[in-house]
């Protein structure tokens, strides 16, 4: 339980680091991806808050683990309890447990607590791995969206121009070990009859390995987030306004099926002629469809595109600022 408090502390430090990063980037708009293809503009703050939500769930999962593990097996004996009338409720309270186990056979043979913690560690490490992967991608010359401080990167032993994201790569790689620990516990338990079997001795290695590892990874992750900075994305792709154009047409009374087709033709024309939406003349737009509004298309930019989103939880500045305000209340 003491170690879980330390893990909670590290998770909260990571949440605070993500929140700090988000607050710096509410109006820094970057490309969002689906299928690793450029999709729609979001803010870097919206990106950071997405990971805030993941680690916030990890915090809730850790709390659930604490509730589930707070069951005392003492008094179960080897299988059938004790011939002495031990007050197990009193003992449980004195030792800081919420309750004593209800069945002695289950109390002896239960290793759910090990599986629960290994699951928590595995899932949290997957979230770390996904975040690290995006940092790695965004730091490449091709994406050029993130700068990693030199203290969290390494050079190449051969190529002096290189700046390698080693810390992020190690966070990504560590997730495999946490998943392996979880599978080890589950595989160990899957065929065991009641009650105690020597196989269960193997739970210690996987449990402690996960415990030590996740504390270190969360600690390093918070420091990594403190040492990255989002750059300004100057390579505008107006094709990412396609949904905005289609939705604008819908607002003007065009059925979405037709709006989708018109916007698709707009994209096709631009691809064939090597142009962006904002480079087309009124005559070109009219030749694609008289329903296309040259003024509306010319006015589009990443911030306007994001702010056109009206739903809660969207990347609009208003929505992201609310997410940040809610997060600040939560973290306090």
CA distance 318 to 49: 14
CA distance 295 to 298: 5
CA distance 56 to 63: 11
CA distance 323 to 313: 7
* Closest by CA position to 11, among listed 40, 39, 51, 69: 51
Alpha helices of the chain — where are they, by DSSP H? Answer: 2-24, 44-69, 88-95, 104-109, 112-138, 166-189, 203-226, 242-251, 256-273, 282-288, 294-298, 302-307, 317-331
Q: Element (H or E) spanning 300, and its range?
A: none
Specify whether 35 is catalytic: yes
Q: Which residues contact 30 (CB under 8 A, 6 or more apart)?
A: 41, 42, 43, 44, 47, 145, 230, 233
Residue 328 CA, distance from chain mean position? 18
Specify whether 260 is catalytic: no
Catalytic residue among 82, 156, 216, 299: 156
8 Å CB contact between 150 and 139: no
Work out the burial of residue 312: count CB atoms within 10 Å of its CB; fewer than 13 is exposed, 13-18 middle, 19 or more buried.
exposed
Supply the residues annotated as catalytic. Answer: 35, 156
């Amino acid at each position: 339980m003491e170690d879980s408090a330390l893990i909670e502390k590290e998770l909260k430090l990571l949440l605070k680091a993500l929140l700090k990063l988000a607050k710096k980037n509410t109006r820094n708009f970057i490309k969002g991806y689906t299928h690793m293809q450029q999709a729609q503009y979001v803010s870097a703050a919206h990106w950071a808050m997405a990971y805030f939500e993941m680690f916030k769930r990890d915090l809730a999962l850790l709390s659930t683990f604490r509730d589930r593990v707070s069951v005392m097996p003492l008094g179960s004996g080897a299988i059938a309890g004790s011939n002495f009338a031990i007050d197990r409720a009193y003992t449980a309270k004195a030792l800081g447990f919420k309750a004593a186990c209800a069945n002695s056979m289950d109390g002896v043979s239960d290793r759910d607590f090990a599986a629960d913690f290994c699951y928590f560690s595995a899932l949290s490490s997957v979230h770390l791995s996904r975040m690290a992967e995006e940092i790695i991608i965004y730091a490449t010359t091709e994406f050029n969206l993130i700068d990693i401080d030199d203290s969290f990167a390494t050079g190449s032993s051969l190529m002096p121009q290189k700046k390698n994201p080693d810390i992020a790569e190690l966070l990504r790689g560590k997730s495999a070990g946490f998943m392996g620990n979880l599978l080890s516990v589950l595989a160990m338990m899957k065929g065991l009859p009641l009650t105690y079997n020597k196989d269960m001795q193997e739970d210690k290695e996987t449990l402690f390995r996960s415990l030590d590892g996740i504390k270190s990874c969360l600690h390093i992750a918070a420091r990594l987030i403190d040492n990255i900075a989002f750059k300004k994305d100057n390579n505008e792709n107006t094709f990412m306004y396609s949904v905005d154009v289609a939705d604008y047409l819908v607002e003007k009374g065009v059925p979405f099926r037709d709006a989708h087709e018109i916007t698709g033709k707009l994209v096709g024309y631009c691809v064939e002629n090597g142009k962006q939406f904002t480079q087309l003349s009124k005559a070109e737009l009219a030749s694609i469809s008289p329903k296309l509004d040259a003024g509306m298309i010319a006015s589009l930019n990443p911030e306007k595109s994001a702010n056109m989103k009206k739903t809660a939880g969207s990347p609009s500045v208003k929505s992201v600022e609310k997410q940040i305000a809610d997060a600040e209340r939560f973290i306090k």
